[in-house]
Structure 1
């Protein structure tokens, strides 16, 4: 992702703004939309050593503005989640074991022919798979 806008106040406080062309998501999906913003805040915090004062999602389709004021503990949780996700990706890359995670959106997916969840056959894994002993297969 690319941060759409970063405002820095004379006091040094930072606001990160992201513009969305559609409408605001329903409340049950708002946390997923904020994850992107929290990721941006984490990057700014780790690179610039400042926790952004405010995160804003501006939905141009509906005119809604969603704001969130991050705190250190929340950004640390995001960082732990990202590290766990990265570890899962690393393990799947080493083993070639990429399991589907079905959701309600799977019915809309164009890749069902390749997805084991729909009886499809994934394409051959392009990287060497390592055994438990570390040998490539």
Structure 2
């Protein structure tokens, strides 16, 4: 069997608003971050992140991992609408994640941040996105998260 190969699709940069803190639930400490906008840029697919997306975040009691569940509406530079949904993990030492939480810049190599992505669209031009698997590696800046998204070939 051959090794998994990927192809870079785009870099996604998000602008998030103030978090809605739900509090401690049976699943963990929950908060929801509204996504106000952003951009995605790549060799074959670029555009803007439309308002209305959300980032549902669950944090473990020890503060060493974040489970994320994100859904975003995107508009391509050619005017087509699609959605991206991704789930994944951001984990590291409690100190590292607290520094990120305070808005400090932290080297992405100091923590793990990976997501699995899927797309949905009614666009004929971009219909192949409906049937691909994509993965991303992320980082967190004071302005919001960013990801490099890669198609799994």
TM-score bucket of the superposed structures, by smaller chain: under 0.3
Q: Which of structures 1 and 2 has the larger relative contact order (alpha carbons within 8 angstroms, sep 6+)?
A: 2
Q: TM-score, normalised by structure 1?
A: 0.28
Q: TM-score, normalised by structure 2?
A: 0.26
- The structure that is strand-richer by fraction is 2
